[in-house]
Amino acid sequence: MATHLRIHLGKERELYEQPPLVPAAEQARVFAVPDWADAHLARMLTPANRVGFLLQWGYFQISQRFYVATRYHAADIAYVAQQVGLGPADFDPLRYADARYYAHQQLVCEQLGIARFDAAATERLYQEALRLSSQHLKPAAVFDYLVLYLHEHRLELPTYYTLADVITRALLAFEQRLLHRLQQHLHPAEQRLLDRLLAADDPNETAAGETDADRRYPLTFLKRIHQGLRAGEIRERVTHFASLRQLFAQLQPLWQRLRLSDQAITYYAEYVLRAQAAQLYRRDERRYLYLLSFVVHQYYELGDALVDTLLHTVASTVNSCKEQVKETLYQQRTATQQLTSQVTGRGYRHLQALTQIRALVDAPDVPAEQKLARIDALLQRHQVTAAQLSEDHEHLEQLRVATEQQAGEALFHEALAAASLRLQTKLGALVKALVVDEATTRADLWRAVYYYQQHDGHLGAQVPLDFLSLTQRTYVLDAQGRLRTSLYKALLFLEMATAIKSGQLNFTCCYQYRAFEHYLLPAAQWAKQREALLEQAGLSAWRDFATVQATLQQQLQAQFAATNAHLTGADNPHAHRTPAGRYRLTTPRLPAEQPRLPAHLFPRHRVVPLREVLTSVARLTQFDTAFGSLPSKHARTPPPLSQLLAALVGLGCNLGLRRLAQVAPQVDEAALQRLASTHFSLDNLRQANELILAFTRQLRLREAFRLSPDVLHSSSDGQKYDLAVDSLGGSASFKYFGNRRGLTAYSYVDETLLVFDSTVFSAADREATHLLEGLLRHALRPTDVHSTDTHGYTEVIFAVTRMLGIAYEPRIRQLTNQQLYSWEPVAAHRQLGQTLLPDARLDPERIARHWDEVLRLVVTLKLRHSEASRLFGRLNSYARQHPLYRALKELGRVVKTEFLLRYVDQVELRQRIHKQLNKGESAHRLAHAVWHGRNQEFHAATRSEQLVAETCKRLLMNAIICWNYLHLSQHLARLSPEQQAATLATLSPFAVLSYRHLNLHGEYDFSDQPLPPEAPFDMELIAAWQPPAKPAQG
């Protein structure tokens, strides 16, 4: 058997092999004798066997695995021995490790319904490890996912060595298969093409006999994707995209034969993005795998950048045109009012004249000759001459035009036509470069885009118009029926942007803007492996909708009955019925959790440097071991700790590596830049955070801050940050950023104040789209109950979280605006005398018709086939709601209604949610203090750079929280039991977010060390200098 990979450099292996720590307060519950065990205990020949059995029983309930008897904790041995009438010395672990040891294990598994880890379980675990290997996770992450898999499938957890061996065999087998396919399918022409990416030749020079397709492309120029929206920067992106598109087309057969997933492409491309060409040359045949992945990855990333450019440019132009229309209408307001007054006055005179003429014509006693004369006199009197009528007609036409302009359409289209040249300069070549997905794009729009691309932007007589509305067609054709080319192109770009956001225009050259179907598990795989996939995802209980409906219906009926019973019986004094029959809630405020934090618990005679905090936490958690060089599935030696901490502070405090090197003489900027480039991958930073979190979770003080030992509550919320650089990931919001652009940093906090995840996204994105990302990223579920504010929820989120086994409990504002639903007719609830009634009836057929697709989507999420934010971003974008979206929304209404009924019924639930959201707000204050540099603005342009900076900030926050936990734990441990109880009774969990005792801003040096020998200023030079004479005023 092969030596297994070194999966962990830190203490994780030791922690895994150690039995769980059981707090003294929990020992009675954990090691309680179950009723079924009394007879077995009576038959045990020695009391020591009883002790061993109860210890195995208690530990297995917690961790679902057995431990070597010599590792049992002395405190637990003493407690259990006392329960059976023995002393701690009467239990000998060495003598217990005999046949009875294994017999007891079999008995425990049978009673709990857990399967033993045998050869069949090993094979199942190996197949799951192979699947995870295809996602190119680090071995430590694969380890965590396998542990979760064993828990969900009720399989005994094996030893660390067994898991490490399974992971090693799976990773090696996957990589060998991939390299074998590469060697089998890599042709010499493709090999030469990839090698030329590493050449330093001038791309404008072509060797004799080589075609343009053989031209060498310098790798360096293709790495950086500029984020600006100036015409020159857009042209540069389009040029690079054209180069990558040509490479992609030539390498596409090889890529398809290798069957690389998006995760694999991103993983291998990451190394090329961070490595130097010389490092790639040393990778032997693997460099072709890395270079191929780089081409595909950058092709997709640049495609995303081009689509984002299109969206931002069109949005900016449309907003500019609308502002121009508003300004024009405002300037024309006085003239229009004056014109209206003139036309109205003349209209009254015309009506008066016409009325008198009508009466004269109808007069029977006036001869015809006199009628003509009198009519002419009337017209003269009312100034209705031919010249005046012509002038009136002209005024009326002006008023008609002005009235049309008041609607804004004509002015808008004129402004759009005027801005078209600028749009074409920026977007003309871009639109021609994009690769549209014909199969999933709206047919009329695809024809227009295809025509534009095929004719190189030159429009002819047969230009497609059917994608335009009837109103737009009236503007795009002039009075003679000729096409207004400039306006047509602007409207085409505008319609493309609208269709992209509504899911009607999709591309094959992107990650973010593909068709929704692409993000799901392949339909053929789902049809063939449906049952196996459901079991693999732990969703077998959801396979039959009829069964699911019956369960949900029963639960909803019971909750309607319980909530209404409490309302009718006056058991709910905090719900008040309105005259409209709705209910308004009042939630009593919770007692303030120590508004002033206990300063005496933290150092008062000194401030603790941030470096001391990070060094102490690094020594205990060994989070620095996560920073191996890239890419590596193996654990590697981390960089020097001092340099690592300097880089973390430079990025996490938003100082910047250059600025940090300038103010810290011991730090070399070039070394910091190299370290960040080669070691600060997002995976490494997240793993480092996990090491700090895993250590902190072992501290017993944390358990004192939990409301329940069995349920962990968490919340998430976003903070808005300005962008100081051009970034396609930013968005405008006058409310938050004024005339600038910004983004949202979204963080997840549990009830013990650990920040277990974070991400960044455009400030224009709805937070609900990204909510699931941080909950699904972790192998071991970070929470049992999750809360957000009102704007963070959708009915789809209610449905998906329920199926994933997460209780979703958002704070609901304006409950009277919420709709309740039921499976039965509303009249059925009214007949029961209920006062809180459903507003509408659910449509189970809508769910049933698409139940298979609902399961496919949730399995896709659970098995991490696609990122949740990408999947929901496209699903939410459809102009007409996708049938799957409507089915999920209908299912979510069931879950939301059941939650709302509990929300009305339980004041404690509302208080618990409010309390948890307050903890998230407090974590924001710590984030604000840590992220203090450079005016607290993001200076990272690309999303990957922004995520790295955000995760560095989160690592610093978690290190501070861990240090505070350690300091408070040590302080409490030194107190007497009575003092400990009194301190804990008043100690708020918010204390671990304290930072006033820390020095986050660095140190000032006022020592007497001599300054450099040269004077900083040359006073003779300054005194002799004369400013130039000012030019004479004309």
**Shortest CA distance to 864 belongs to which of 774, 804, 777, 944?**
777
User: Residue 934: inside a domain, yes or no?
Assistant: no
pLDDT in tens, 255-304: 888 888 888 888 888 888 887 766 776 657 788 888 999 999 999 999 99
Residue at a domain's end among 128, 154, 184: 184
Residue entry with tokens 């009883």: 50
| Candidate from 201-205, 396-400, 628-632, 811-815 with smallest mean pLDDT | 201-205
Count of structural domains within the chain:
2
Question: If pLDDT is split at 50, 70 and 90, which confidence band does 212 have?
Answer: very low
Residue entry with tokens 């542990």: 147
Question: In sequence order, what DSSP letters do the residues of 334-352 get, joined into one string?
Answer: HHHHHHHHHHHHHHHHHHH
User: Residue 16: inside a domain, yes or no?
Assistant: yes
Residue-level pLDDT at 1014: 63
Residue at a domain's end among 168, 184, 200: 184
Residue entry with tokens 């660095």: 1002
Residue entry with tokens 């093409």: 193
Q: Is the peptide bond before 631 cis (omega within 30 degrees of 0)?
A: yes
Report the amino acid identity of residue 513: Y
Within 906-1000, where are the H helices? Answer: 907-930, 943-973, 977-986
Residue-level pLDDT at 924: 95
Pairing of strands 713-722, 785-787: parallel
Pairing of strands 755-762, 785-787: unpaired
Residue percentage of the chain with pLDDT more than 70: 89
User: Residue 1016: inside a domain, yes or no?
Assistant: yes
Q: Which of 415-419, 599-603, 984-988 has the highest mean pLDDT?
A: 415-419
Residue-level pLDDT at 572: 87
Q: How long a stretch of residues is the chain?
A: 1034
∠ Cα 693 698 699 (to 5°) = 100
Report the amino acid identity of residue 370: Q
Sequence-ordered list of residues with C-beta below 8 angstroms from that of 200, at least 6 positions apart, any chain:
218, 277
| Candidate from 196-200, 435-439, 442-446 with smallest mean pLDDT | 196-200
Q: Is 367 helix (H, G, I), strand (E, B) or coil?
A: coil
User: Residue 719: inside a domain, yes or no?
Assistant: no
Summarize the confidence of residues 48-61 as an average pLDDT: 89
Question: In sequence order, what DSSP letters do the residues of 791-818 get, joined into one string?
Answer: GG--HHHHHHHHHTT-EE----S-GGG-
Can you tell me the distance from the alpha carbon of 874 to that of 499, in angstroms, rounded to the nearest whole number? 12
Bridge partner list, 65: 157
pLDDT in tens, 472-515: 998 998 888 889 999 999 999 999 999 998 889 999 999 999 99
Region of residue 383 (phi > 0: left; psi between -120 and 50: alpha; otherwise: beta): left
User: Residue 662: inside a domain, yes or no?
Assistant: yes
Instruction: Read off φ and ψ for residue 743, nearest 5 degrees.
Output: -145, 175
**Shortest CA distance to 791 belongs to which of 823, 834, 746?**
746
**Shortest CA distance to 127 belongs to which of 160, 174, 159, 162?**
174
User: Residue 501: inside a domain, yes or no?
Assistant: no
pLDDT in tens, 817-843: 889 999 999 999 999 999 999 999 999
Pairing of strands 741-750, 998-999: unpaired
Residue-level pLDDT at 592: 59
Q: Is 211 helix (H, G, I), strand (E, B) or coil?
A: coil
Give this prediction's pTM.
0.85
- DSSP state, 407? T
User: Residue 275: inside a domain, yes or no?
Assistant: no
Element (H, E) at 826: helix 826-831
Residue percentage of the chain with pLDDT more than 90: 48
pLDDT in tens, 979-1029: 888 888 888 899 999 999 999 998 887 777 776 666 578 788 888 988 888
Name the residue range of residue 997's domain.
609-698+944-1034
Sequence-ordered list of residues with C-beta below 8 angstroms from that of 272, at least 6 positions apart, any chain:
219, 223, 280, 290, 291, 293, 294
Summarize the confidence of residues 411-433 as an average pLDDT: 93
**Shortest CA distance to 940 belongs to which of 406, 285, 414, 227?**
227
Cα 224 from chain centroid (whole Å) = 23
User: Residue 72: inside a domain, yes or no?
Assistant: yes
Bridge partner list, 808: 786
Structure tokens at 604: 């008062």
